[in-house]
A and B are shown apart, each in its own frame.
Chain A
Amino acid sequence: MTAGSIESLDLVGAADAVAGGQISARELTAWALQRLETTGRRLNAVFRIDHAPAMERAAALDDLQAAGGPLGPLHGVPLAHKDLFGVAGRECHGGSIILRGNVAPRTAFAIEQLDAAGQVNLGSLHMAEFALSPTGYNGHYGHGLNPWSEVHACGGSSSGSGIAVAARLVFGALGSDTGGSIRHPAAMCGVTGLKPTARRVSVAGVLPLSHSLDCVGPLAQSARDCARLLRSIARPDAADGLCTRLPADDYEAALDGDLRGLRIGVPQAYYCVDVDAEVADALQASLDVLRARGGVLVDVGVPDMALINAMAQLVMQVEAATLHRRWIESRPQDYAAQVRQRIDTGFAYSAVRYAEALSLRMRLAQQYVATCFAGCDVLHMPTLVAQVPTIAETTEGDSGSVQQTLARVTANTRGINYLGLPALSVPAGFSRAGLPMAFQLVGRPFDEAKLLKTADAYQRDTAWHRRCPTLPALPAMTAP
């Protein structure tokens, strides 16, 4: 295969190409390593590249295939992951300088599952410091650069995961999502990103930010790619006592393109207020596609999202403050100011308020499901109500306007984590400025299959998720 034809593959296509013998795991891995080392470094998408272990792994997978061994669903597919997933014996610093040199004692459960499925893990990807920025801001290691425009935010905190998939450096990546950290980079970089139901995927071996809200999920080109990745990682794990023991659905089997009778809820409050005009047009166009596929559009009401967002913010900040207290007290200078301020705020709430926020979680989740899903199967809304902000808009100027910009980024994502619901960000077009726009699908608990089915049907009739940014030419590929 030529470099150009490799670049046109998605994750499922890459797995099929290896399984079918069109390309070896070594050739594919060498291609991805070179892209990570060149474009990945230039876009600041990468923290660590494991060249030798990756090539050894690829060779072992080729040997297994040549010997007629069993092939996993990700056999020979190069992936890389956010730097908060532990890999035993390798550095994992969570985008911080406080944990620089920290060697992970164990491999994260989700990474182990991808290994078992046949991935080639190339290394760790850029992320916001301790996962505490919705834009990809990192005061220590610099901003990740959006491959569509380097002056615009790339989204965070799983910034490197969004960049690496969008720039076709790897075929998929894991991220984590506490208030939108998978969906923000997916939306801003133009890829598909899934935040599963709370504890659908184990968080064991993952650096925490907020144990009540953290979720692990995939970013990839398409809903089908995400379905394959989710099926691989959604397994019971005794090491995460809250991880569900429900078996994962066969998410790929549900992707039949048929939306006849599926009720798609269109919120008539909150999510549709103050939406940028170009984003609103893209959202309407996406609804037209879904309707043409057989979806039935239904107006739905929305509960008090200001309260739900407040709950999410308090829980996240208190739990982050708890985790960081020792370092905040002893090494405050080692946090970027924007990050430290978010953690500081967590110390200013009382224990009673935190307990109230957790006590109301079930009631508010039930109320949300009863209100929003009484007459529909999935909710459809903008992932971001505004266009992708510039880096300057999220870091410079007065604190009030920066906070306002950041609040608009998280407006439609943060509350979903408090409610524990699954959500999927889907590329839905490009603004006149050339930046991606996206819609978000939200479902009932553990109904990821319906979100993926809906997005896959949309992606059968659109090509936004296939669009690839124009990047500087790479040097000729070296033979493995």
Chain B
Amino acid sequence: MHAPVVSLSTNVEATPWSAERLATAQALAAPIDQRIAQAALVMLTLDDHVAAHAAWSDAQAALEGDDRTARHGGTT
């Protein structure tokens, strides 16, 4: 067994994979990673995170006629 994965950026760097396997995974991931990174920089702010969560909760509550307080364990 190898050491536990500790890398914060890419998990693959801490694996015992061959250089080829590692390079393939990173090459396949790179364009998607960059696409999302760029979009997130433009689209996401801290307020958006909060708003997205609230919107989801509100949508669920509206759809289900739910008591949000009960559903979320009284923490909302």
Residues of A within 8 A of B (CB): 244-246, 306-307, 310-311, 313-314, 317, 321, 329, 341, 344-345, 347-351, 353, 356-357, 359-363, 366, 445-446
Contact = CB atoms under 8 A, between A and B. Distances in A.
A356 B43 CA distance: 10
A363 B48 contact: yes
Contacts of B39: 307, 356, 360
Which of A310, A357, A445: most chain B Cβ within 10 A?
A: A310
- Shortest Cβ-Cβ A-B pairs, 9 listed: A348-B29, A356-B40, A344-B25, A347-B11, A362-B52, A348-B25, A345-B28, A310-B35, A347-B12
User: Looking at chain B's contact residues, is the secondary structure mostly helix, strand, loop, or mixed?
Assistant: helix
Contacts of A366: 55
The number of chain B residues touching the other chain, given as a range, is 20 to 34
Contacts of B30: 348
Interface string B30-66: 1111011101100110001100100110000001101
Interface string B15-32: 101000100111011111
Contacts of A321: 11
Given A347-B25, A348-B10, A348-B26, A363 B43 contact: yes
B9 interface: yes
25 contacts: A246-B63, A307-B35, A313-B32, A314-B36, A329-B15, A341-B28, A347-B15, A347-B25, A348-B26, A348-B29, A349-B33, A350-B9, A351-B8, A353-B33, A357-B36, A359-B48, A359-B49, A360-B39, A360-B43, A362-B55, A362-B56, A363-B43, A366-B55, A445-B63, A446-B63
Given A245-B66, A307-B35, A360 B40 contact: yes
A353 B36 contact: yes
Given A306-B35, A360-B40, A446-B63, 7 more contacts: A344-B12, A344-B24, A344-B25, A347-B15, A356-B40, A357-B36, A363-B43
A245 B64 contact: yes
A348 B43 contact: no
A22 B37 CA distance: 62
A351 B36 CA distance: 12
A303 to B, nearest CB: 12
A338 B47 CA distance: 40
A240 to B, nearest CB: 14
Nearest to B17: A344
A356 B36 contact: yes
Looking at A357, A363, A366, the one whose CB has the most chain B CB atoms below 10 A away is A363
B37 A353 contact: yes
Among B10, B36, B48, the one with the most A-chain Cβ atoms within 10 Å of its Cβ is B36
B29 A363 contact: no
Given A359-B44, A360-B39, A363-B52, A348 B11 contact: yes
Nearest to B2: A329
A362 B40 CA distance: 13
Given A347-B10, A348-B28, A348-B29, A356 B44 contact: yes
B24 A341 contact: yes
Contacts of A246: 63-64
B33 A314 contact: yes
Nearest to B32: A310
Contacts of B9: 350
A131 B8 CA distance: 29
A357 B9 CA distance: 16
Nearest to A341: B24
A390 B28 CA distance: 24
B55 to A, nearest CB: 5
A246 B59 CA distance: 12
**Interface-central residue, B9, B15, B35, B48, by most chain A CB under 10 Å:** B35
Contacts of A351: 8
B63 A244 contact: yes
A311 B33 CA distance: 9
A349 B29 contact: yes
A233 B28 CA distance: 37
Nearest to B41: A356
A126 B13 CA distance: 35
A445 B56 CA distance: 13
Interface hub of B9, B32, B37 (most chain A Cβ within 10 A): B32
A43 to B, nearest CB: 32
A244 B49 contact: no
Contacts of B31: 310
A445 B26 CA distance: 35
Contacts of B24: 341, 344
Nearest to B26: A348
A307 B52 CA distance: 18
A180 to B, nearest CB: 17
A348 B24 CA distance: 10
A302 B28 CA distance: 26
Contacts of A347: 10-12, 15, 25
Contacts of B37: 353, 356
